[in-house]
Amino acid sequence: MFHGKMKAVTFSYDDGVTQDQRLIAMLNRYQLKCTFNLNSALLGQAGMLLREDVSVAHCKPRPEEVPGIYAGHEVAAHTLTHPNLALLSDEEIIRQVEEDRRALSDLVGYEVVGMAYPGGTHAMNAHVADLIRANTGIRYARTTTQTHNFDLQDDLIIFNPSVYHHIEWDEMFRLGKEFIDLTPDTPKIFYIWGHAYEFDIHNTWDRFEEFCQLISGHDDIFYGTNREVLL
Q: pLDDT tens for residues 191-208?
A: 999 999 999 999 999 999
DSSP letter (8 states) at residue 161: P
**Residue 81 within any structural domain of the chain:** yes
**Residue 34 within any structural domain of the chain:** yes
- Which residue, 144, 197, 194, is CA-closest to 169? 194
**Residue 114 within any structural domain of the chain:** yes
Q: Are strands 48-51 and 114-116 parallel, antiparallel or unpaired?
A: unpaired
| Long-range contacts at 20-23 (CB < 8 A, ≥ 24 apart) | 20/61, 20/69, 20/70, 20/196, 21/61, 21/69, 22/196, 22/199, 22/205, 23/196, 23/199
**Residue 41 within any structural domain of the chain:** yes
pLDDT of residue 97: 99
**Residue 161 within any structural domain of the chain:** yes
pLDDT band at 93 (very low <50, low <70, confident <90, very high): very high
Question: Is 54 in contact with 133 (CB distance < 8 Å)?
Answer: no
pLDDT tens across 25-55, in order?
A: 999 999 999 999 999 999 999 999 999 999 9
| Count of structural domains, the chain | 1
What CATH code is carried by the domain that includes residue 186? 3.20.20.370
Cross-strand bridge partners of residue 142: 116, 159
Report the alpha-carbon distance of residue 215 to residue 231 in Å, rounded. Answer: 22
**Residue 1 within any structural domain of the chain:** no
Domain limits for position 66: 7-230
pLDDT of residue 161: 98
pLDDT of residue 72: 98
- Which residue, 1, 188, 16, 25, is CA-closest to 108? 16
pLDDT of residue 220: 98
**Residue 2 within any structural domain of the chain:** no
Please state, as a whole number, how many other Cβ atoms lie within 10 Å of the Cβ of residue 27. Answer: 22
Report the alpha-carbon distance of residue 209 to residue 75 in Å, rounded. Answer: 22
Average pLDDT value for residue range 162-183: 97
pLDDT of residue 144: 98
pLDDT tens across 111-128, in order?
A: 999 999 999 999 999 999
**Residue 104 within any structural domain of the chain:** yes
pLDDT band at 91 (very low <50, low <70, confident <90, very high): very high
pTM: 0.98
Report the alpha-carbon distance of residue 85 to residue 90 in Å, rounded. Answer: 9
